[in-house]
Structure 1
Amino acid sequence: MTLYETLFALTSVAMPFWLLMILLPSWRVTRLLASLAVFPLYLAVLYAVGLVTAIGDTGFGFIQDFGSAEGVIRLLSHPDFALLAWIHLLCFDLAIGHSIYRDNMEHHYVPRPVQSILLFLVLMFGPFGWLCYLAIRRIRRTKAAQDAHSQ
């Protein structure tokens, strides 16, 4: 097993946190873990280990592939870089999900069942779930401001 395969296997530890945020958002353990940001930090550390290793092995030359679709395809055709990119996605999806969880638990923009649906969308579709949350939050904030202004 390569280092990148090991790092990928270690990412599964963060899945229970997704389940807690989605299924048990009000549980004190979920709230504690969210306040400590343990799992987003954990995935970020895994990614950093992979990134530092990749830079150590190949230097910064791989960055030149970021500038074109062909270059990105070529880079992602290498299993180690594909796994590293996947860890990157998992880390950012969890960071966004964690941010949504904390923001909504504090401000109550959407009911908890809707929050759970939005977190599931972030887990499965990343930016789409985040966009949905931002749109709903914006609508709710605007409505609250209009209601406060009309009183």
Structure 2
Amino acid sequence: MYSWLFAAAGIAFPFWLLMILLPGWRVTRFLAERQVFPLFLAVLYTAGIGAAVAHYGLGFVQDFGSEDGVLRLLAMPDFALIVWIHILCFDQAIGHWIYRDYMADRFLPLPVLSVILFCTLMFGPFGWLVYTVLRALLRPART
């Protein structure tokens, strides 16, 4: 089941291409406004974590509190795939937020937005940090 969830999560990748390469296209705007792909990934994650809880019980949660526990969980293929979907979902949600926030003011050249979105796709928190800093420095003040 977890391999199927992982494969299904790949469906969300083309939306990154739309945001990066075709940010002004009405289809891109339509999908971003409805948050189709982060919601899709959240459903996949929920199915995966639900299956894990059904199979392993809630005892695995205690492993979140220690380095050894987290490493033990990530060494299990099922949990590693669920964690990957978790990461994909949050990166996609942050990418959507960046895209939607940017489209409200367009305070950067589009190529810069594309680079930031690519960084968010590849290095999630780093892309968000770059956008947040540039937003604070360059975005016109709202009154």
TM range (shorter): over 0.9
Of the three residues 71, 74, 77, the one matched with 1:76 is 74
Residue 83 of structure 1, CA deviation = 0.3
Q: Which amino acid aligns with 1:127?
A: P
Q: How many residues align?
A: 142
Of the three residues 14, 17, 33, the one matched with 1:19 is 17
Match for residue 61 of structure 1?
Answer: 59
CA distance in 2, matches of 1:13, 1:27: 19
Q: Secondary structure at the match of 1:126?
A: helix
CA distance in 1, matches of 2:65, 2:3: 26
CA distance in 1, matches of 2:60, 2:131: 34
Match for residue 93 of structure 1?
Answer: 91
Taking the TM superposition and a 5 Å limit, the aligned residue runs for 1:97-136 are 97-136=95-134
**Structure whose CA Rg is larger:** 1
Residue 109 of structure 1, CA deviation = 2.8
Which stretch has the larger CA shift, 109-118 or 77-86?
109-118
Listed one character per residue, the Cα deviations across residues 98-145 of structure 1 (whole Å, up to 9, x for unaligned) are: 10000001122322111100000000000000000000001114xx44
Q: Secondary structure at the match of 2:46?
A: helix
Of the three residues 10, 27, 30, the one matched with 1:29 is 27
CA distance in 1, matches of 2:38, 2:107: 23
Of all paired residues, the percent bearing the same amino acid is 61
Q: Which amino acid aligns with 1:48?
A: T
TM-score, with normalisation over the residues of structure 1?
0.91
Listed one character per residue, the Cα deviations across residues 36-71 of structure 1 (whole Å, up to 9, x for unaligned) are: 111110000000000111111111111111111111
Which stretch has the larger CA shift, 42-51 or 109-118?
109-118
Match for residue 36 of structure 2?
Answer: 38
Q: Secondary structure at the match of 2:107?
A: coil
CA distance in 2, matches of 1:75, 1:62: 8
Q: Which runs of 5+ in 2 are unaligned?
A: none
TM-score, with normalisation over the residues of structure 2?
0.96
